[in-house]
Amino acid sequence: MIVLVTGSTSGIGKATAEKFASEGYDLIITGRRVERLAAVQHALQERFKVKVTSLCFDIRNQPEVEAAIASLGTVVPNLLVNNAGLAAGLSPLQEGRLDHWERMIDTNLKGLLYMTRIVANKMIDGGVRGHIINIGSIAGKEVYANGNVYCATKHAVDALTRGMRIDLLPHRIKVTSVSPGMVETEFSIVRFDGDEARAKKVYEGMQPLTGEDIADAVYWAASRPAHVNISDIVITPTDQASATNVLRS
């Protein structure tokens, strides 16, 4: 069994790669930061004695996606975890930055589409009854003030998950979405363009989820019997009831 996790250089993707490696799965890990990728590859191979292939590319760049997946040759992933993604900025729509919007749309939406199309075709051509797990968000279930374009991309991921499940049905490819609430990763640092103090404040006085919590949910969905498809998992910290209802001490 081979698991391909996009965005495995940090946060949820890294924790997911670790979880599957700890369960004995071979991995294909991806990201843009080549040194981080090499470090994750090395650590997983040393610790869990599994085979880890690393592919360094920008998911927004369709020819790069194509070349990376082509480099796998006849290797077909059994599971694709579409995790790479980000939020950029948090401001009213009328004050939004175009570069933020484009990064989110190109990564969360177009990148996920490029990956899914090529890997789903590999599964179909290879006769693999595969599984695709999309990392959505509670921002794909509700909208919140200033979340506009990020929420729109995650609502789109929610729609695509449901669409994929229908389109891939004839090939018995399972499709699942895992939609987290607040998880402390590099997410908020990226969102606030590297402002670590502002990022830290997001989780002040409350206990957020960890990447490992989400990895557990992904692994659980992936390890159900062949006839069971988990459609949707929404997972929040106990201290969070909705995007904006957060209990802080």
Ligand X SMILES: NC(=O)c1ccc[n+]([C@@H]2O[C@H](COP(=O)([O-])OP(=O)(O)OC[C@H]3O[C@@H](n4cnc5c(N)ncnc54)[C@H](OP(=O)(O)O)[C@@H]3O)[C@@H](O)[C@H]2O)c1
Give me the least distance between CB of 31 and ligand X, in Å please: 3
- Location of structure tokens 């490992």: 212
Instruction: Judge whether 219 counts as a catalytic residue.
Output: no
Q: How many residues does the chain have?
A: 249
Binding to ligand X by CB under 6 A, coded x per residue (else -) over 187-226, reads x--x--------------------x---------------
Query: Least Å distance between CB 145 and ligand X?
Result: 17
What tokens were used for 103? Answer: 């990064």
Residue 128 or 134: the one with the smaller Cβ distance to ligand X is 134
Name which position in 116, 148, 176, 185 contacts ligand X (CB under 6 A). Answer: 185
Q: Where are the alpha helices (DSSP H) in the chain?
A: 11-22, 34-48, 62-70, 98-104, 112-125, 148-167, 187-191, 196-202, 211-222
Which residues lie below 8 Å from residue 73, measured CB to CB, with a gap of 6+?
none
List the one residue from 81, 84, 113, 151 that touches ligand X (CB under 6 A): 84
Token duo for residue 29: 């890990």
Question: Tokens standing for 248?
Answer: 């802080």
198 CB burial (10 A radius; 0-12, 13-18, 19+): middle
Residue 220: CB minimum distance to ligand X, A = 17
Among 25, 114, 150, 219, the active-site one is: 150
Point out which span in 10-18, 120-128, 216-224, 227-235 binds ligand X (CB under 6 A).
10-18
107 forms part of the interface with ligand X (CB under 6 A): yes
Site size for ligand X (CB under 6 A) = 29
**SS3 of residue 10 by DSSP:** coil
Binding residues (CB under 6 A) for ligand X: these are 7-13, 31-33, 36, 58-60, 83-86, 107, 135, 137, 180, 182-183, 185-187, 190, 211
Q: Which residues are annotated as catalytic?
A: 150
